[in-house]
Every structure is written in structure tokens, then in C-alpha cells.
Structure 1
Amino acid sequence: MTLGRVGIWSIELRMGDPGEVREAAAELDELGYGALWIPGLGGGDILGDSERLLKATRSTAVAVGVLSIWRHHAAEMAAGHNRLQRDYDHRLLLGLGVSDPAAAHAAGRPYRPLADMGTYLDLLDQAPDPVPADQRVMAALGPNMVQLAGKRTAGVHPFMITPEQTAALRGLLGTGPLLAPYQAVVLETDPDKARTTARGFLGTFLGMDHYARSMIRQGFTEDDLIGGGSDRLIDSVVAWGDTDAIDKRIRAHHQAGADHVCLHVVGARSPMPRTEWQELAPLIRQHHV
């Protein structure tokens, strides 16, 4: 499966008006983005939402980034995934995450992330229609989970990381597995406005224990997590400014070992950020290899 070097990560492509989602997906396909990533959010019909994008596009891959293993039965995901692969030229990448203790407890289970993910991968392997390892990725952040992803999936789709952390993850994975980091983007050149917009989206995640631990591993302090994130943290994990600034951040991830960078436009001027996606599209050619 070919993802290209640059893709789009979008809540809007999952939650937006169905007609506009189809139009936007078709346009993104024409613009040349390598993959369209949609989040798992609180569950729901993730495969149906993936199929809507697959049906609207011709060559762009569709990736789930990522579904919670606590909200979707492995056998159902495997059967649905395989049907979509047959029907749409093997363009679907299934992303998996262990979420957090609250999600596990809501499912009536203890939270043992490494063992839980290993069990879920076993179930995908043992399903009547197995999901091959090269058609699934993991939202791994910690070293043990990253190494599991490298052994049993196509690779990792990490959230809210710096290019320096991309380099560290590449070191853990080695040269083979896929490394496709999420990258929040704010197309705003005013520092105060850009950082305020970034905090409005990322601040919630900094209050979650697993993301807070990830930030600490990346060299930030507890003080950096306060108030939606310090300027230092925001500037490190969010690419803001004009398209040249965004290009610089994409290039930094690629130079650090990323295969594919997923751009999430934050603070768009309209409910479906098609204008921003158009503005970013020339960067695809600059990073084509």
C-alpha cells in the first residue's frame, strides 16, 4: 500500500456533512494527497465512514488513525476490512490504539496496554478473514509499544510528537517499518493567534495521562503541560505560520526518518478546511520521492 509522503488527517472527513465529505475527498484525491486519515473518536461506524472516502476517491489511501480496541470487535473489524480491501483496490490501512484506562474499564476490562494490544492483534490474525500485518498500524508512543508495532504491524502512527521524537522512534523501529507521524498545522503567522488556536485543540490532550507521559519522555517538563501547553511545547509539536514554515516542519520529520506525515489543519476558516488543504497542496510535490 502506497501512502505517499504527505497526507491529510481530518475530523471533518468523518463528522462533516456526507455530501461535502464526498466532494472534499474527491478534491483531495485530485490534489494528490497520498492518504486521508480519519480518527476513531468514540467508536461508531468507522468502516462505513472509511468506505465513504474510498468510494469518493480513485487512488488515495484511506487510513483509520486510530480506532480504540475497546470499542470495536476484532472479528468484525477484520471481516469489514477485508471486504473493503477487495472492493477498493487494497487502499485501506487499519490503525489501532489502546486508548486509556477509562475506555478499558468501560468495556469491563482491566487496563494492560501491551498485553491488550497483543491479544487484539492475535484476534485479527485468527479471524476467518485475517488482517495482514502490513495492512495495520499502531498508535504507539512508548518504547515497548513501538517495538511491538514494528514486529507485528506495518509500523506506527504517533500523535503529538516533535521531529526529534520521530528520530528516536525511527531508531527503535529500525529501517523497515512505516513511521507516519500526525502533525497539527495552524496556517496563521501571528504567534499569539497561532498558539491560542493550537492550545484550543491540543490542551485537552495534555491533561490525559498517556499523552502527558509522552511529552515528558520527549523532554518537556510538568510546567510545559500547564495552561494548554507552554510556548516551547506548542512551537515544538504544532507547525504554525505560512506554507514555508509548514514545509520546514514536514521536511524535519522526513529527515528524522518519517515515511509519511499526516497534516491536521487546526483553526480552519470554515467547517470543512478545503481552502487550507488547497493552500498546502503544493507541498506534496516538494516532498515527492
Structure 2
Amino acid sequence: MSSDRAAHVARFGTHGAWGGWGKSSPDQARAIEELGYGTIWLGGSPENLGPIRTVLEATEDITVATGIVNIWNTEAATIADEFLEIESDFPGRFYLGIGAGHREANAAYRKPYEAVVDYLDVLDGKGVPVERRLLAALGPKMLKLSADRSLGAHPYLTPPAHTAEAREILGPGVLLAPEHKVVVDTDPSAARAVGRPPVDKPYLHLRNYVANLKRLGWTDDDIAGGGSDALIDTLVAHGDAASVRAQVDAHLSSGADHVAVQVLGDGDPVPPLAAILQAD
């Protein structure tokens, strides 16, 4: 690991904007950078890194990261070559997040830990720097791997309680950048109506996410039927902008370096992102 790991961690800033793969328009990317967010996350399971270039070309200096490249539908050598081409054109701005996804969506799924190790070995051989990659990590073993073989971890669909446990496993100096979903709406029922569907399907039907929630003490009753109100409220911050900001920032006080904010709903994410950041 390079001696400037702290500088790489700092480059993410404390808050990022997490959006679906290919859904951030150039105008939205520019607006997010102008608001003061440190990172734009492109989430999903891309087969190539083309949309990364669109965001990088539209912005000046903001960090851009994948959350995540799925190892089952992308060849490590191909992604490594794409990373190196992007690095040549936009030095220091792109961080490669990778992960094993979930067995329900991948016919070729095998032991995820071993598969991620093999993928990282190829990235090593192709010259992708350790400090320029991240791992999707939920359980202790993958979290430890993220500390040993990358800049750090990008947990998805996790509450601050998980963040606190993850920091204990990672130790100091390792990037911890969880994602958190938000709905800026002061009507709890309306907020849950927006937040519950994208949590329930697919995540409350995927073995790795369910297992992680149960590790944190949630029960089958909490997970069934689209998720209990308590579970949804924990996984999807809602309320006015100040309340949402406080809920998101609970990750930071629990040990995260950065939190990636995913605005749910069909509208333009920029206005709620602005309200949340300005609520400090």
C-alpha cells in the first residue's frame, strides 16, 4: 500500500452522491460537483466503463467511483485495461469498486471470496494500483480482504450499526464508505411508500443481504412482507433535509470516512442532494 493512502481516502470527501449506472446526466454530474459533494458513485453491474467517461468529461475534479463492477459479468483483464485508459485521460479521479454481487443473479456464481481474490490477482498483474480500488463488503471476511487488498470497503444497504462493526474489523486508515438511501419527505407513510419497494426487491430476497441484516439482529419478521417499518426506517433515511442529514451522518460518527447518499424516487436527485448538504 502506498504511503499516501490517507490522501486517497480524503479525496472522497465526507459525502457522495450515489446513482444508478448510466443515469447521471452531464448536467446532473456538474451540479453535484458544484454543490460540494466529494464523489459521484455509479452503481449497478456494468459490462464496461463507458459511462464513467461521460461523468469525468462533464466535471472538473470530483472523484468518480463504481459501486460496483460485478466480477461475474466483467473480465478482470478487460476492466483493468479500461481503468488504465481512464487513468491516462483523467489522472487520479477514478476509483474502481468491484464486488461479487449475489448468487441469485449469477449462474456462474461460486465461492465469492475466492473469486474476488482471483479477480484482484489479475488487477495486480495488470498494474491497477491497490489504493485505487474498493471492495463491496458486508461480512467480516470480505471486509478484512478490502483492508488488505484495496483502499477500503463500500458496503451497500447497511445501517450505522454495521458501520461501527466494519470499522472495528477494518482498523484505522482504511476507507469505509457505506451507501445510504434517503427520501426527503416529512410524511413517514409517503416516505416508506417510496423507500420500501427498492429495498424489498431485490435486497430482502437476496441471501447475502438478508444474512447481513440478521447478523445485525433483524428477524425474519422484520424482513418478511417488504420489511417492517422499523427496518425500512433504518435503511432509508426520511424526514426533512436536516433530519435526513443527521441520519446519514450517523455513519460518520460510527466510523465511516464517507457516506454515499442515494436519493430514491423518480424526480431529479439534485434538489434533495442540495437540501441535505446545505442542512449542515
Question: Is TM (by shorter chain) over 0.5?
Answer: yes
Query: What residue is the counterpart of 1:228 in the other structure?
Result: 226
Per-residue Cα deviation, 1:100-135 (whole angstroms, up to 9, x for no partner): 224442xxx4511111110000010012xx111110
* 1:63 matched to 2:32: no
Amino acid at match of 1:89: P
If the length of structure 2 is used for normalisation, what is the TM-score? Answer: 0.93
Query: What residue is the counterpart of 2:277 in the other structure?
Result: 281
Query: What residue is the counterpart of 2:115 in the other structure?
Result: 116
Is the CA contact (8 Å cut-off) linking 1:84 and 1:90 kept in structure 2? Answer: no
Uncovered stretches (5+) of structure 1, i.e. residues with no partner: none
Is the CA contact (8 Å cut-off) linking 1:7 and 1:35 kept in structure 2? Answer: yes
User: Any idea what SS the aligned residue of 2:22 has?
Assistant: helix
Number of residue pairs the alignment of both structures matches: 270
Is the CA contact (8 Å cut-off) linking 1:37 and 1:262 kept in structure 2? Answer: yes
User: Any idea what SS the aligned residue of 1:10 has?
Assistant: strand
Per-residue Cα deviation, 1:223-265 (whole angstroms, up to 9, x for no partner): 1011211011111111111111112112211111000000000
Is the CA contact (8 Å cut-off) linking 2:80 and 2:123 kept in structure 1? Answer: yes
Within the candidate set 188, 191, 196, 1:191 is matched to 188
Per-residue Cα deviation, 1:156-192 (whole angstroms, up to 9, x for no partner): 0001111111000000000121000000001111111
Within the candidate set 39, 44, 47, 2:43 is matched to 39
Amino acid at match of 1:40: G
User: Deviation above 6 Å: which 4+ runs of structure 1?
Assistant: none
* 1:14 matched to 2:34: no
User: Any idea what SS the aligned residue of 1:96 has?
Assistant: strand
In 1: Cα distance, 2:51 partner to 2:154 partner: 19
In 2: Cα distance, 1:69 partner to 1:279 partner: 35
Q: CA RMSD in A?
A: 1.4
Query: What residue is the counterpart of 2:3 in the other structure?
Result: none
User: Any idea what SS the aligned residue of 1:226 has?
Assistant: helix
If the length of structure 1 is used for normalisation, what is the TM-score? Answer: 0.90
Query: What residue is the counterpart of 1:219 in the other structure?
Result: 217
Query: What residue is the counterpart of 2:93 in the other structure?
Result: 91
Amino acid at match of 2:47: G
Is the CA contact (8 Å cut-off) linking 2:52 and 2:64 kept in structure 1? Answer: yes
* 1:180 matched to 2:177: yes
Amino acid at match of 1:5: T
In 1: Cα distance, 2:224 partner to 2:105 partner: 24
User: Any idea what SS the aligned residue of 1:240 has?
Assistant: strand
Is the CA contact (8 Å cut-off) linking 2:26 and 2:54 kept in structure 1? Answer: yes
Uncovered stretches (5+) of structure 2, i.e. residues with no partner: 1-7
